[in-house]
Amino acid sequence: MNKKSLIKSNIKKTNKNTLSLKNTSRLNIKTDSSLESLLCGNDKIDAPKDQKQLSIPPGHLKISKAMISLLKKKNFDVITWAEIANTAGVNEALIYKYFKDKRNLLHYVLQEYNSDFVKILRKDLDHTKGTFNKIKTFISSTLNYYQETPVFAKILIIEIRNFPAFFTGETYELIREYADILLDIIEKGVKQGEIRSDISPRHIRQIIIGAIEHLCLPKIIFGTKIKTKDYTEEICKLVFTGIVKQDKIGSKKRGL
């Protein structure tokens, strides 16, 4: 092989092994406990169907796990590049190879959690029939995932919303998928005559998500347990009484 051909071959190898935030295969994060096993286990993990041939570079995976580990103990703003590098066991230059800045790394972790969560939520809803049962499943599944993955809850509820640029970026569009699932359930309930039509479906959605997040704040801040069953029942009793269509209120109360 001549010198020119050798250079081209090396360039192809470099391009193949350098992955961006958009085309990196998924971490398939399920719970924080499963992340602990990943930290000690094999770097090879399942990838989405369209990326079966790709794997996350070991350094990239170590950096992501390091950020998750640090977020369990610290707020995002006080975490430094040096701490991330030290926890990951890599040099700081490698972090810049995969992530343009610390917030880009935070958004990557958030996207991975969100992707896993949405898959679980959709699966749970596929096995649920009826508008109010679907809303109840949405609430219960969210609370359960926040309990199992407090880092995800912390990033989503506390760490990203104090940064205005988040709301105009790619990550925000991905996160909206979760909220749109609930909006779709509510709008279908209105069309089917189960939910009253004189209240904005978007406002109902915000009330439900707001209730979920405020009940989860003690877990995020103080590490207390999320009482998934109790919280679900309480939110449902309060919200359902207010949104059920008036001619259905008697039968709905009996079903709560």
Tokens of 8: 């081209």
Range of the domain at 138: 103-255
The answer on 232 and 155 residing in a single domain is yes
Max CA separation in the chain (angstroms): 83
The answer on 138 and 34 residing in a single domain is no
Q: Can you name the residues that pair with 4 across neighbouring β-strands?
A: none
Identify the CATH number of the domain in which residue 209 sits.
1.10.357.10
Query: Which among 99, 129, 158 is the end of a domain?
Result: 99
| pLDDT digits (tens), the chain, 256 positions | 554 454 444 444 444 333 334 333 344 444 454 444 433 333 333 333 333 335 789 999 999 999 999 999 999 999 999 999 999 999 999 999 999 999 999 999 999 999 999 999 999 999 999 999 999 999 999 999 999 999 999 999 999 988 888 888 888 988 899 999 999 999 999 999 999 999 999 999 999 999 999 999 999 999 999 999 999 999 999 999 999 987 755 555 445 5
Residue-level pLDDT at 168:
87
pTM of the model: 0.77
The answer on 70 and 148 residing in a single domain is no
Query: Which among 36, 65, 99 is the end of a domain?
Result: 99
Count of Cβ atoms closer than 10 Å to residue 186 Cβ: 24
Tokens of 27: 């971490």
The answer on 216 and 166 residing in a single domain is yes
58's CB contacts (< 8 A; 6+ apart) are 43
The answer on 204 and 112 residing in a single domain is yes
Number of domains comprising the chain: 2
Look at residue 4 and tell me if it is in a domain: no
| Nearest alpha carbon to residue 38 among 15, 13, 56 | 56
The answer on 188 and 65 residing in a single domain is no
Look at residue 150 and tell me if it is in a domain: yes
The answer on 149 and 111 residing in a single domain is yes
Count of Cβ atoms closer than 10 Å to residue 248 Cβ: 15
The CA-to-CA distance between both ends of the chain, in Å, stands at 75
Query: Which among 33, 67, 99 is the end of a domain?
Result: 99
Look at residue 80 and tell me if it is in a domain: yes
Look at residue 3 and tell me if it is in a domain: no
Residue-level pLDDT at 4:
47
The answer on 189 and 131 residing in a single domain is yes
d(CA 23, CA 6): 26
| Residue keyed to tokens 């506390």 | 158
The answer on 131 and 77 residing in a single domain is no
Cα–Cα distances in angstroms (integers) from residue 32 to residues 79, 96, 126, 151, 184, in the given order: 19, 25, 25, 8, 29
Residue-level pLDDT at 48:
37
Residue-level pLDDT at 32:
52
The answer on 146 and 75 residing in a single domain is no
The answer on 219 and 108 residing in a single domain is yes
d(CA 147, CA 149): 6
Residue-level pLDDT at 170:
86
Residue-level pLDDT at 7:
44
The answer on 93 and 153 residing in a single domain is no
| Nearest alpha carbon to residue 45 among 62, 26, 19, 21 | 26
